[in-house]
Amino acid sequence: MDSISREETVRQVKEAADIIEVVGEVVRLVRAGAHYKGLCPFHSEKTPSFTVNPQRRFFRCYGCGEGGDVLDFVMKYHSMTFPEALKALAQRYGVDLPERKMSPREKKKQDERSEVFAVNAFAAETFHGRLSGPDAEAARAHLAERGIPDEVVSAWRLGFAPDSWDFLTGLCRGRGCEEAAARAGLIVERRNGGHYDRFRNRLVFPVHDTAGRIIGFSGRIMGEGEPKYLNTPETIVFDKGKNLFGLHKNREAIRKAGRCLLVEGNFDLLSLVAAGIENVVAPLGTALTRSHVRLLKGYTGEIIIFFDGDAAGLKAAMRAAPLCLGEGIAARVAILPQGHDPDTLLREHGTDAVHELVEQASDLPEFVFDRLAETHGLSVDGKTRIAAELGQILREADPDPAAAAIFASHFASRLGITADMLITGRGKKARAPGGKTVSAAAEKTLPLKTRQLVEFLIIFPEYLQKFIKAGIEEVIQESRAQRILELLVRASGSGEPDAVHDRLLEAAGPDDREYLTALLVAAPDSSPDEAGKAAEEMLAWLERELHRKRQEELTRQIIEAQRSGDHARCLELMEKKRMMGRLPGAAGTGEGTVTPRRPQGEEK
Ligand SMILES: [Zn+2]
Query: CATH code at 75?
Result: 3.90.580.10
Length of the chain: 604
- DSSP annotation of 426 reads S
SS3 at position 202: strand
51-65, 359-373, 465-479, 588-602: segment of lowest average pLDDT: 588-602
Q: Please tell me the distance between residue 64's alpha carbon and the centre of ligand 1 in angstroms.
A: 4
CB 544 within 8 Å of CB 585: yes
How far, in Å, is the centroid of ligand 1 from the Cα of 283?
Answer: 24
357 touches 334 (CB < 8 A) = yes
Pairwise pLDDT comparison (30 vs 501), residue with the higher score: 30
23 Cα to the center of ligand 1, angstroms? 14
Residue 201 φ then ψ, to 5° = 50, 50
pLDDT band at 521 (very low <50, low <70, confident <90, very high): low
- Could you tell me the CA-to-CA distances from 333 to 46, 275, 564 in Å, in that order? 20, 21, 26
pLDDT number for residue 445:
32
Average pLDDT for 547-570: 82
CA of 30 to the centre of ligand 1 (A): 16
User: 10's torsion region: left (phi>0), alpha (psi -120 to 50) or beta?
Assistant: alpha
- CA–CA gap between residue 70 and residue 82 (Å, rounded): 11
Closest Cα to residue 263, out of 288, 228, 239? 288
With bands split at pLDDT 50, 70 and 90, how would you rate the model's confidence at 2? low
Query: 238 CA distance to ligand 1 centroid (A)?
Result: 24
Cα 200 versus chain centre, distance: 34
CATH of residue 361's domain is 3.40.1360.10
Give the Cα separation of 198 and 188 in Å (integer).
6
Closest listed residue to residue 342, CA positions, set 165, 177, 146:
146
Asked if residue 59 lies in contact with residue 67, where contact means CB atoms within 8 angstroms, the answer is yes
CA angle 165, 171, 175 (to 5 degrees): 145
Based on its alpha-carbon atoms, the radius of gyration of the chain, rounded to whole angstroms, reads 28
Residues with CB under 5 A from ligand 1 (ion): 40, 42-43, 61, 63-64
Using alpha carbons, select from 183, 174, 184 the residue that is nearest to residue 204: 184
The reply to whether 571 and 476 lie within a common domain is yes
Say if residue 211 is in the same domain as residue 300: no
Report the share of the chain in percent with pLDDT over 90: 34
* Co-location of 310 and 204 in the same domain: no
Give me ligand 1 centre to Cα 47, in Å: 11
CA 8 to chain centre: 38
Q: 283 forms bridges with which residues in the sheet?
A: 244
Q: Which residues pair with residue 331 across a beta bridge?
A: 303
Please report the pLDDT score of residue 489 as a whole number: 87
pLDDT band at 95 (very low <50, low <70, confident <90, very high): confident
Q: How far is the CA of 149 from the centre of ligand 1 (A)?
A: 42
What does the pLDDT read at residue 522?
57
133: containing domain: 104-231
Residue 490 has pLDDT above 90, yes or no: no
Q: Is there a domain that residue 98 lies in?
A: no
Tell me the mean pLDDT in the region 522-550.
79
For the cut 60, the answer to whether the pLDDT of residue 442 exceeds it is no
How far is residue 559's CA from residue 374's CA, in Å, rounded to a whole number?
A: 8
Question: How many angstroms is it from 596 CA to the middle of ligand 1?
Answer: 20
**Distance in Å, CA 52 to ligand 1 centroid:** 12
What spacing in Å lies between the alpha carbon of 29 and ligand 1's midpoint?
A: 14
Residue after which a domain boundary falls, among 231, 259, 274: 231
Distance 61 CA to ligand 1 centre (A): 5
Give residue-wise pLDDT tens across range 410-427: 788 777 777 777 766 544
How many angstroms is it from 590 CA to the middle of ligand 1?
Answer: 17
How much distance in Å is there from the Cα of 65 to the middle of ligand 1?
Answer: 6
pLDDT tens digits, one per residue of 343-356: 899 999 999 999 99
Q: What does the pLDDT read at residue 44? A: 79
Distance 44 CA to ligand 1 centre (A): 7
Same domain as 566, residue 467: yes
pLDDT per position as a tens digit, 147-198 = 899 999 999 999 999 999 999 999 999 999 999 999 999 999 998 889 999 9
CA of 48 to the centre of ligand 1 (A): 9
Tell how far the Cα of 378 is from the centroid of ligand 1, in angstroms: 39
What pLDDT shows up at residue 408? 79
Looking at the predicted structure, is the pLDDT value of residue 359 above 80?
Answer: yes
- Confidence (pLDDT) at 3: 60
The pLDDT of residue 602 is above 50:
no
Q: Provide the pLDDT for residue 434.
A: 35
Cα of 306 to ligand 1 centre, how many Å? 29
d(CA 58, ligand 1 centre) in Å: 14
Q: How far is the CA of 37 from the centre of ligand 1 (A)?
A: 12
Q: Do residue 389 and residue 493 come from a single domain?
A: no
- Axis crossing angle, helix 82-92 with helix 3-16, rounded to the nearest 10: 60
Long-range CB pairs of 165-171 (<8 Å, 24+ gap) are: 165/196, 165/197, 165/200, 166/195, 166/196, 166/197, 167/197, 167/200, 168/123, 168/126, 168/197, 168/199, 169/194, 169/195, 169/196, 169/197, 171/126
8 CA to middle of ligand 1, Å? 30
Residue 236 domain-assigned? Answer: no
Q: Which amino acid belongs to residue 533?
A: K
Residue 447 confidence (pLDDT):
56
- Is 600 inside a domain boundary? no
- Domain assignment present for 122: yes
Q: How confident is the model at residue 525 (pLDDT cuts 50, 70, 90)?
A: low
| 403 CA distance to ligand 1 middle (Å) | 15
Together in a domain, 39 and 150: no
CA of 518 from ligand 1 middle (Å) equals 31
CB-CB neighbours of 518 under 10 Å: 10
What is the 3-state secondary structure of 450-482? HHHHHHHHHHCHHHHHHHHHCCHHHHCCCHHHH
Domain contains 590: no
Cα 480 from Cα 502, distance rounded (Å): 19
Task: Judge contact between 408 and 387, C-beta under 8 A.
Answer: no
Find the 427 Cα to ligand 1 centroid distance in Å. 34
Indicate if the pLDDT at residue 433 is higher than 50.
no
Ligand 1: centre distance to CA 411 (Å): 26
Query: Is 532 part of any domain?
Result: yes
* Å from CA of 110 to ligand 1 middle: 27
Task: Pick the more confident residue, 52 or 415.
Answer: 52
Q: How far is the CA of 45 from the centre of ligand 1 (A)?
A: 8
Find, among 76, 78, 79, 81, the residue nearest to 65 by Cα.
76
Question: Are 470 and 533 contained in the same domain?
Answer: yes
**CB 176: neighbour CB atoms within 10 A?**
8
Among candidates 283, 365, 356, which has minimal Cα distance to 324?
A: 365
Distance from residue 591's CA to the centre of ligand 1 (Å) = 16
In the reported structure, the alpha carbon of residue 242 is separated from the centroid of ligand 1 by a whole-number distance in angstroms of 17
Which tens digit of pLDDT belongs to each residue from 299-347?
Answer: 888 999 998 877 778 888 888 888 887 777 889 999 888 888 888 999 9
Task: Tell how far the Cα of 7 is from the centroid of ligand 1, in angstroms.
Answer: 28
**Residue pair 327/403 in contact by the 8 Å Cβ criterion:** yes
Question: 67 C-alpha vs ligand 1 centroid, how far in Å?
Answer: 9
Helix (H) or strand (E) holding 303: strand 302-307
On the question of pLDDT at 92 being above 80, the answer is yes
Instruction: Verify that 458 and 564 share a domain, yes or no.
Output: yes
CA of 74 to the centre of ligand 1 (A): 15
For residue 109, the CA-to-ligand 1 centroid distance in Å is 28
Q: Are strands 302-307 and 260-262 parallel, antiparallel or unpaired?
A: parallel
Contact at 8 Å (CB) between 205 and 219? yes
Taking the centre of ligand 1 as the mean of its atom positions, its distance from the CA of residue 95, in whole angstroms, is 30
Q: 211 and 124, same structural domain?
A: yes
Residues 282 and 351 in one domain: yes
| 491 CA to centre of ligand 1 in angstroms | 41
Which pLDDT value is given to residue 102? 73
Give the domain-ending residue among 369, 390, 415: 369
Query: Can you tell me the mean pLDDT for 386-406?
Result: 76
* DSSP β-bridge partners for residue 60: 51, 67
All residues at 6 or more sequence positions from 46 whose CB lies less than 8 Å from its CB, including other chains: 39, 327, 328, 587, 588, 590, 591, 592, 593
Domain membership flag for residue 389: yes
pLDDT(247) > 90: yes
Cα-based distances in Å from 464 to 180, 493, 531? 67, 10, 13
255 CA from centroid of ligand 1 (Å): 21
pLDDT of residue 166: 95
Distances from the Cα of 494 to the Cαs of 239, 458, 500, 504, 540, in angstroms? 64, 16, 9, 12, 28
In this structure, are 298 and 279 located in the same domain?
Answer: yes
- Distance from the CA of 60 to the center of ligand 1, in angstroms? 8
Instruction: Calculate mean pLDDT across residues 554-566.
Output: 82
Other CB atoms within 10 Å distance of the CB of residue 381: 10
Is the pLDDT at 199 greater than 90? The verdict is yes
CA distances from 590 to 21, 68, 308, 481 (A): 28, 28, 30, 19
Domains held by the chain: number: 5
Residues 257-292 have pLDDT tens digits of 989 999 988 999 999 999 999 999 999 988 888 889
3-state SS, residue 440: helix
Query: How far apart are alpha carbons 479 and 487 in whole angstroms?
Result: 12
Most confident listed range (91-100, 351-360, 569-578, 588-597): 351-360
In a domain, 278, yes or no: yes
CA dist., res. 98 & res. 251, Å (int): 32
Give 68 Cα–ligand 1 centroid separation in angstroms: 12
Tell me what the pLDDT averaged over the chain comes to: 83
Cβ 404 vs Cβ 438: under 8 Å: yes
Spacing, Cα 66 to ligand 1 middle (Å)? 6
Which pLDDT band, with edges at 50, 70 and 90, does 557 fall under?
confident
CA–centroid distance, residue 213 to ligand 1 (Å): 26
Last residue of a domain, one of 92, 115, 148: 92
Same domain, 8 and 130: no
pLDDT band, residue 446 (cuts 50/70/90): very low
Task: Find the 189 Cα to ligand 1 centroid distance in Å.
Answer: 41
